[in-house]
Structure 1
Amino acid sequence: MAPWAEHAMWWHVYPLGFAGVPVREEHRPPAPDGGLAALVPWLDHVVELGLNGLLLGPVFTSSTHGYDTLDHREIDPRLGTREDFDALVAAARARGVRILLDGVFNHVGREHPLALAALAEGPAGPYADWFRIDWDAPGGPDFADFEGHSSLVALDHDNPAVADWVAQAMSFWLEAGADGWRLDAAYAVAPAFWAAVLPRVRAAHPDAWILGEMIHGDYAAYVAESGIDSVTQYELWKAIWSSLEQENFYELEWTLTRHADLLETFLPQTFVGNHDVTRITTRVGRDKAVLALVVLATTGGVVSVYAGDEVAMTGLKEDRLGGDDAVRPAFPASPADLPDVHGPVADAHRALLALRRRHPWLLRARSRMVELSNTRCVIEQTGEGDRLLVELDVTGAPRARVTSSDGDVLFAWG
């Protein structure tokens, strides 16, 4: 793991939504200062919150929502141009902000030129073995897809040419200034594929940080076999909101024990919100959302904050067309126009992220429950000879307190 990544905390943005880009309607180029350019004024907000990384959702040319990629080497015209990307990288560098790109390499959009060529040229064509194609399907040749989404065409990761192509795409953008990659749907790709790809990428970019999206599966084994640095810690995400929603801290205790085992081998990416899930404030309400942040900020792992959670944005994820829209909203032109950007929840983010900066050992902290009931718990966080106590209480109005080993109150809520 690159040394810089141990000090990274991420602001996670879904650029197409952030910039108000039409996802399903007719594509059009961004307005002046729109698209990726719209992110530049927000970099100071990222730093002011106490973060130093920009985790971007898809920015490459796609048919609709970004995960149906059409060209991995071109910025989506709805977000601007390569020059806009370069300007964002330069502005981030000037502020010490790292950039992580979202790489959709499990599948491509059905209209991807190589997918179209594979069908047009038939089973003897040069791209036929880039995809898993049923040439004898009843309705004519058809692709294997990703989780039943016919618009997402699965690549054949057993083909060495696909591995070459992915390695070249990853290296291209690392050379352009990205610091690493989030690998979308990593859980759907055999770890051996990444074990073949990543050494080629790291030969030229040894400091690249690679994060894999893992919703389920054996996290530690996948990291060991693939060579990636980290995975999305969905088990902890679920335990945090569920224990608060159901008022059952026993679930959190069980998951923190599993989390401690993961920390023995790698540093998971921890979060309470992202572009694929219902907003934490919608799940549990504003006060409990701050308690969720307390857990996030004091538990081992690489922290990310989903843009908007710092001001208690709400949004319900639904299983329907457009069901992600509510959790991927457009943002105003300036942080100054964001409601409650200096409100109590935003201030809680600043305070807790600052607390984590002052205690860098929390990156690898080990968690132990020293007091536990359904509605109250005290978590002891330890590391490098230091110790914090994290109290959470939902017996009445949600309350939280973080105290030092000397008994000083470092943060309080409620």
Structure 2
Amino acid sequence: MTSWRDHVIWWHLYPLGFTGAPVRPAEPVGEITHRLGRIEAWLDHVVELGLNGIALGPIFASRTHGYDTEDHFRIDPRLGDDADFDRLVAAARRRGIRLQLDGVFNHLGRTHPAFRALEEQGPAAPTAGMFRVDWSGWRPGDPVEADVFEGHDALVALDHSSPAVADLVTDVMLHWLDRGVDSWRLDAAYAVPPSFWAGVLPRVRARHPEAWISGEVIRGDFADVVQASTMDSVTQYELWQGLWHGIADRNLFELAHAVKRHNDLLATFVPATFAGNHDVTRLASAIGADFVPHAMAVLFTVAGVPSVYAGDEYAWTGVKEHRHGGDDAVRPEFPPAPPAPGDLFHTHQTLIGVRRRHPWLVRAHTDVVHLENRRIVLRTATGTGAILTALNLDDTPAGLPAADARTVLAGSATLNGPDLRLPARGWAVLSSGDQPPRA
């Protein structure tokens, strides 16, 4: 029996940037500005693309970028309030759109009441056990020497061996699932012991068994993390890197390697796949706007639960820089209404349509049929059919094996028996089972 989780395709956005909310410095705490409605204005755009899920970045009260949470139970006042959130949920529901929230549960902002209590009361604070603190030599009035997340002093790491932390995370997840969301992305899940999630997530699923929970895991043994944590999925950074570098460096051997490793994960879980997100240089800047269709063709024809980073369907650009404010370019403010759709928008529509018509792709293995530095043919298949994805990164046309392909579904290719021909810098998605349209 299939679940909505087998058919969801996400449109991922960073709400603070999307709505034009200031992140440095934040507006005064308590001053509510109703910006969430700007997301509502794009819901029909999501449906027109063929997507049925919105993966939201942080929306809870914080002082800056949203990952320094100070209240998990309150909508960030820079975005609005509970009523704004409820309207967004209802508007999404009317369109059949699922919602995912970003759960920042590895660390808190220093303004969170649980940490402020430590600064005021020291080790006697009732929340002292929630953090990893060196109290040796501490005196009232001294700074609290707590562990922080990856050197970011404003992000105080939680102690995940604390029952109080487990209770907090469970309560937060249940609160918003009860309010109508469908899914959680667990931020920095790689920094949290898998045993913590294994204790929390069964409690969440006892009340919301259909919730889909994916963790941000950047490296390591993805399958082992999923098994130990009981998460449904993790972010497939290996495939993203194979796509990015394979195309940008004209070295498709890297993509082929990533695809083979991707296959190995399917025995354990279905990965969360993406070609762009809010933490990396935008796809068009990374590989060039002309090659965005190539990357999306792979994304939508290999296994996984895919997401489109909002704006990639317009080939918007932005380079991530490793400095204060270095994420701003990849997290821009969006216009009040969607711009007129262009060719790339329609390419996304076509590829998402291919995915919709072949739902078995979510778990199907992909074989490498042909491989050169600048040319590749992938074949993703199951017992009910096969989809071929052919890429040519070269500036000259290419003749490639067509395997069992019979019909061109997307892109530009000419079929001639066992061969297919791609134009310079061309791509195509083909099927072995679809009949060509009747004249």
Task: With the length of structure 1 as denominator, give the TM-score of the two structures.
Answer: 0.95
Distance (Å, rounded) in 2 between the aligned partners of 1:153 and 1:63? 14
2:240 aligned residue (234, 237, 245): 237
Once the two structures are superposed, residues 358-408 of structure 1 have per-residue CA deviations (whole angstroms, 9 ceiling, x without a partner) of 111111121111111101111111123311111101121699999895511
Cα distance in 1 for residues equivalent to 2:210 and 2:370: 41
Q: Deviations over 1:269-289 (max 9, x none)?
A: 000100000001001111111
Q: Is 1:65 aligned to 2:68, yes or no?
A: no
Alpha carbons of structure 1 residues 74 and 402: separation in structure 2 relative to 1, 3 Å: farther
- Relative distance call for 1:67 and 1:405 in structure 2 (3 A) is same
State the Cα distance separating 1:26 from its structure 2 match. 4.1
Q: Equivalent pairs: percent with the same residue?
A: 54
Kindly indicate whether residue 216 of structure 2 is the aligned counterpart of residue 219 of structure 1.
no
Q: 1:378: which partner in 2?
A: 377
Q: 1:397 to 1:193 in 2, by over 3 A?
A: farther
Separation in 2 of the partners of 1:156 and 1:410?
Answer: 51
Structure 1 residue 346 and structure 2 residue 345: aligned?
yes
Instruction: Give the match for residue 331 of structure 2.
Output: 328
Q: Which runs of 4+ in 1 moved over 4 A?
A: 28-31, 137-140, 397-406
Shift of 1:343: 0.9
The letter of the residue matching 1:50 is: G
Q: Is the 8 A contact 1:263 1:364 kept in 2?
A: yes
Q: Which residue of 2 aligns with 1:125?
A: 125
Larger radius of gyration between Structure 1 and Structure 2: 2
Equivalent AA in structure 2 for residue 193 of structure 1: F
> Residues 149 and 156 of structure 2 are in contact (CA less than 8 Å); yes or no, is this contact kept in structure 1?
yes
Q: Is the 8 A contact 2:216 2:235 kept in 1?
A: yes
Aligned in 2, Cα 1:194/1:347: closer, same or farther, shift over 3 Å? same
Matched residue type, 1:412: G
The aligned counterpart of 2:50 is 50
1:111 CA drift (Å): 1.3
TM-score with structure 2 length normalisation?
0.90
Q: 2-side partners of 1:123 and 1:224: how far apart?
A: 36
2:336 partner amino acid: A
5 Å-filtered alignment, 1:6-405, equals 6-27=6-27, 29=31, 34-136=34-136, 140-335=143-338, 338=339, 341-396=340-395, 405=404
- Aligned-partner Cα distance in 2 for 1:12–1:390: 24
Secondary structure of 1:221's match? helix
Aligned length: 408
Distance, in Å, in 1 between the alignment partners of 2:73 and 2:399 is: 46
Distance 1:167 1:43, change over 3 A: same
Kindly provide the CA deviation profile for residues 86-111 of structure 1, in whole angstroms up to 9, marking residues without a partner as x: 00000000000000000000000011
**1:330 Cα offset (Å):** 0.4
Are the structure 2 counterparts of residues 381 and 125 from structure 1 closer, same or farther at C-alpha, using a change threshold of 3 Å? same
Unaligned runs of 5+ in 1: none
TM superposition shift of 1:247: 0.6
Deviations 1:25-71, CA, capped at 9 Å, x for gaps: 2416565xx52111111111001001000000000000100000000
CA distance in 2, matches of 1:264, 1:108: 35
SS of the aligned residue for 2:381 comes to strand
Report SS of the residue matched to 2:390: strand
Distance 2:310 2:345 in 1: 11
Matched residues in 2 for 1:134 and 1:186: separation?
Answer: 24
Q: Deviations over 1:341-367 (max 9, x none)?
A: 421111110000001101111111211
- Is the CA contact 1:60–1:71 (under 8 Å) kept in the aligned structure 2? yes
